[in-house]
Structure 1
């Protein structure tokens, strides 16, 4: 874990008792009312703890005295200690969500975070595979599954499904058997914010999943397997880390391919869909993006590829 991530997850100690109680109330709101994932709740609480710790250093011991100047002072301090733009932008978002809750629950007379800005994040182009590299990756996994072992069949099905659908690794490991509609070749996914969406997949992925369910999964299944679609070697629902390790190991077998993980396959699927003529709104729905602006990042990827091809091929580039 890098220093930024470690600092984000560390909660300051020694907060005044009113602030500790306030954090408890806020945690209950995030869990019971907003139904956020545990790691998201931890991130929000860590950010807000840092803000309240900074308020204490400024002499603010009553949340009703929290104002825009204190919020800006907190972000400025983060910048002086070398936090990245992405980290500061996320902390600003956490502060705005927190102060909106304070105002809505009557703890502050006005929402000081409503006027709080965020530094613009640098847009970076995610590394993606070329179509031939994606094929080589799948062949690499399939070659190891030729012996018909349950783990090999599972790995082929997971990689095929990741590339075919562009779903997140957390969504993949959360799939149950009943989430797969083999007849329509659609998988039902529970995404961020517990929003459900249906994502289609192609014939190769369908064959791989069918083979896994018919031959591989029964061999790994144990009494406590439950309905999980993909199982680990001990028969329980597979862990995200195992999927990431699989993708990184198999990518290493593809000459010249960037070292990507499951999220890189998600980027790759989105890019190949757009390059193949899919419209942006459809890709947004398939990926489960709340904002079209997030999906538009992939248009930068395809434009960047086009520019590179032009520069390499055109005599007057």
Structure 2
């Protein structure tokens, strides 16, 4: 039992993630566990070995999924503990699916012809690029 972090009867003070010694999981512990399981998964999915996956990847992925699910940016910002909405707005700018949806609303005639096509390099100007999204 760790005397630095004795268990509390107050649910708001109880730790959710504990290590194998029963003490609060640190950022180093999270990094260790993530690396351990990414390495294990890379044995079956070899592309994982080429990726740089770290604890912040989990925060970013969670924020993107929350945005896609329709959670408002202010709630996501508070949940992630960001200092302001501008920090969280990076996630909104980062997701190509959300960009595609916005373009479909503004240019439905252009975007409807581009569905189920792959993105290729093309020197056909802006409309050509939009058609290939």
Matches within 5 A, 1:166-245: 222=1, 224=3, 226-227=6-7, 229=15, 230-245=17-32
- SS of residue matched to 1:260: coil
Q: Can you list the C-alpha shifts for 1:199-233, whole angstroms capped at 9, x where unaligned?
A: xxxxxxxxxxxxxxxxxxxxxxx263512623333
Q: Can you list the C-alpha shifts for 1:72-97, whole angstroms capped at 9, x where unaligned?
A: xxxxxxxxxxxxxxxxxxxxxxxxxx
RMSD (Å), alpha carbons: 3.2
Contact 1:275 1:302 (C-alpha < 8 Å) held by counterparts:
no
Give the one of 81, 91, 94 matched to 1:298: 91
Unmatched tracts of structure 2, length 5 or more: 8-13, 101-113, 121-127
Take 2:29 and 2:67, find their aligned partners in 1: how far apart are those partners? 29
Unmatched tracts of structure 1, length 5 or more: 1-221
Contact 2:2 2:23 (C-alpha < 8 Å) held by counterparts:
no
Contact 1:271 1:302 (C-alpha < 8 Å) held by counterparts:
yes
Which residue number corresponds to residue 250 of structure 1? 37
Aligned length: 95
Take 2:26 and 2:36, find their aligned partners in 1: how far apart are those partners? 16
Higher-RCO chain (CA-CA 8 Å, sequence separation at least 6)? 1
The TM-score with structure 2 as length reference comes to: 0.55
Take 2:79 and 2:23, find their aligned partners in 1: how far apart are those partners? 28
Structure 1 or 2, whichever has the larger Rg, is: 1
The TM-score with structure 1 as length reference comes to: 0.26
Contact 2:30 2:55 (C-alpha < 8 Å) held by counterparts:
yes
Matched, 1:273 2:66: yes
Query: Which stretches of structure 1, 4 residues or longer, exceed 6 Å deviation after superposition?
Result: none
Take 1:276 and 1:251, find their aligned partners in 2: how far apart are those partners? 26
Matches within 5 A, 1:1-317: 222=1, 224=3, 226-227=6-7, 229=15, 230-252=17-39, 253=41, 255=45, 256-257=47-48, 258-303=51-96, 306=99, 312=118, 316-317=131-132
